[in-house]
């Protein structure tokens, strides 16, 4: 076979048939369809993914805006709560709340006004707050604000009130369209108002909800402050009442002292009159002695004049004639007696002065025996000749914490009552015992005694067993109040027909207190 014939034969064998081409075309068509479908699916997925990314971005943006808003709300509420809970004066606190609320709500201007009986009387009438400059002097919108706020209604609002005022043509950088305001009580008929101008046509519900929360904080804060002011005012009133009661108590104690002195006046006068009487008698004798001495002196002078000298025998004769030795000895005794009498009067006066003097009420370490002795001197005349006093107190008795003048008043009352209970005579004995850093004073009489009912009423004001006009009925009640102030307890043991013992338990003075 020739070469050309062979080549034709190969070509004929490799030449695709129509069927092959049709099959290939079908394969290509299916491949193209698959690729087209895959491309459509990819485009759809890309579009869906892009949409999801867009929506996610929008959601994140909204979430960010919401988070930012919530953060601003929390900061606003936190700061407003801190201002309300602070110790700032009420006006300063409200100023800061207005500043904070205006900034949070993006209001253009804010105002704080106080009304009383429907009229504006205070706050910051001549000032206003602005978003750009804060509080500033001058309020060009004073008339506009006052005309909008319902001051005359004098009622407390339940929430914030939002009102359109765009018809008033209030213009700043931008026209004012809305006012929102609220109020709160300041006590009595005084009401505080917070008001804000806004350039927006409406206030969002979310903003109003946050403002309402802050308003509740403000109301709670003002109520607390007003309550604190009322409590403070009440405390001042109570302190004044306490001071008046303390003053009355001191006056009552002093009045009872004077009443006791009035009852003891006759006896005290007698106690003073005795030494004064014998002092006067002694002075009459001294007057006579002075006359004798003058005569003696005149006789000596005459003798010298006649004889130009004075002999010893003449001098002795003159002394004997005038009884000069007796006059000298007796005058010494008289002067000593007078001094003792004057000392006795001085003691009585000093004890009366210490007893009647109101003095201060300081409790200091003091001598119980000295106080009791002074009281006994004051009431000495109440104990007649048929009475005996056994005062067993000595300097060995520990010092107590007390006020000498006040305790002396207590002891005078006890001793006078004891003398009255021993009308027919008896013995008053005074002693002490010691127990657990306390000194117990025992005042015992052998008088008529008391039954249990009388003992229970003993310290009741105006209760007395004495006839009308003899006792005030306040002596023991005042004494009991004095002893209570001294942290002293009183136990009374009494038996009818046997006598009565007052056991008074005092705090003992310690070495530290003495020093």
Mean pLDDT of 76-90: 87
For residue 180, the model assigns a pLDDT of 94
Q: What is the pLDDT of residue 287?
A: 83
Q: Where are the domains of the chain?
A: 20-77, 86-203, 360-515
Percentage, residues of the chain above pLDDT 90: 18
Sort strands 426-435 and 387-391 into parallel, antiparallel or unpaired: parallel
Instruction: Report the alpha-carbon distance of residue 79 to residue 57 in Å, rounded.
Output: 32
Mean pLDDT of 204-210: 90
Taking only the tens place, the pLDDT of each residue in 335-361 is 877 787 677 677 666 666 655 555 556
Q: What is the pLDDT of residue 466?
A: 53
**Mean pLDDT for the chain overall:** 80
For the domain spanning 86-203, the CATH number is 3.30.450
Q: What is the DSSP string of 48-82?
A: HHHHHHHHHHHHHHHHHHHHHHHHHHHHHHHHHHH
> Residue 3's pLDDT band (boundaries 50, 70, 90)?
low
- The architecture that CATH gives domain 360-515 is 2-Layer Sandwich (3.30)
Residue 469's pLDDT band, with cuts at 50, 70 and 90, is very low
Looking at residue 513, its pLDDT comes to 43
Q: Could you check whether 86-203 and 360-515 share the same CATH topology?
A: no
91: left (phi over 0), alpha (psi -120 to 50) or beta: alpha
Q: pLDDT tens digits for 448-468?
A: 888 888 777 776 654 455 544
Over 60: is that where the pLDDT of 262 sits? no
Across 229-256, average pLDDT? 71
Highest-confidence range of 9-18, 298-307, 325-334, 371-380, by mean pLDDT? 371-380
CB 150 within 8 A of CB 191: no
pLDDT tens-digit series, residues 52-77: 888 888 888 887 877 777 888 889 88
């Amino acid at each position: 076979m020739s070469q050309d014939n062979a080549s034709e034969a190969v070509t004929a064998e490799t030449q695709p048939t129509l069927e092959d081409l049709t099959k290939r075309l079908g394969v290509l068509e299916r491949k193209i369809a698959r690729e087209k479908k895959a491309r459509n699916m990819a485009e759809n997925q890309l579009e869906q993914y892009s949409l999801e990314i867009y929506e996610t971005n929008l959601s994140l943006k909204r979430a960010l805006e919401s988070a930012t808003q919530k953060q601003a709300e929390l900061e606003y509420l936190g700061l407003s709560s801190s201002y309300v809970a602070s110790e700032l004066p009420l006006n300063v606190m409200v100023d800061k709340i207005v500043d904070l609320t205006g900034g949070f709500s993006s209001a253009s201007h804010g105002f704080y006004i106080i009304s009383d009986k429907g009229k504006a009387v205070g706050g910051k009438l001549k000032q206003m707050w602005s978003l750009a400059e804060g509080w500033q002097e001058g309020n060009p919108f004073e008339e506009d604000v006052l005309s909008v706020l319902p001051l005359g209604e004098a009622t407390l609002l339940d929430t914030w009130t939002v009102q359109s005022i765009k018809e008033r043509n209030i213009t700043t950088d931008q026209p004012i369209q809305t006012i929102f305001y609220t109020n709160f009580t300041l006590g009595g008929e005084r009401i505080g108002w917070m008001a804000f101008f806004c350039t927006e046509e409406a206030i969002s519900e979310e903003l109003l909800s946050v403002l309402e929360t802050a308003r509740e904080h403000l109301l709670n804060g003002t109520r607390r402050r007003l309550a604190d002011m009322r409590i403070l005012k009440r405390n001042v009133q109570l302190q004044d009442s306490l001071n008046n009661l303390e003053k009355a108590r001191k006056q009552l104690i002093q009045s009872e002292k004077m009443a006791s002195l009035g009852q003891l006046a006759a006896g005290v006068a007698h106690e003073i009159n005795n030494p004064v009487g014998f002092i006067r008698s002694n002075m009459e004798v001294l007057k006579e002695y002075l006359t004798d001495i003058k005569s003696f002196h005149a006789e000596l002078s005459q003798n010298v004049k006649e004889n130009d000298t004075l002999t010893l025998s003449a001098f002795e004769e003159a002394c004997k004639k005038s009884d000069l030795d007796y006059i000298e000895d007796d005058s010494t005794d008289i002067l000593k007696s007078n001094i003792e009498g004057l000392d006795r009067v001085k003691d009585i006066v000093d004890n009366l002065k210490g007893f009647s003097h109101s003095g201060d009420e300081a409790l200091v370490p003091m001598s119980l025996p000295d106080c009791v002795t002074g009281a006994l001197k004051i009431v000495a005349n109440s104990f007649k000749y048929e009475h005996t006093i056994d005062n067993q107190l000595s300097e060995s008795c520990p010092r107590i914490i007390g006020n000498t003048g006040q305790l002396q008043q207590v002891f005078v009352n006890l001793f006078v009552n004891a003398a009255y209970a021993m009308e027919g005579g008896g013995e008053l004995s005074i002693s002490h015992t010691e127990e657990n850093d306390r000194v117990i004073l025992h005042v015992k009489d052998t008088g008529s005694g008391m039954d249990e009912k009388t003992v229970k009423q003993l310290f009741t004001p105006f209760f007395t067993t004495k006839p009308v006009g003899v006792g005030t009925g306040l002596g023991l009640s005042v004494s009991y109040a004095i002893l209570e102030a001294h942290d002293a307890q009183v136990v009374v043991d009494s038996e009818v027909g046997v006598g009565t013992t007052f056991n008074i338990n005092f705090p003992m003075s310690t070495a530290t207190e003495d020093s």
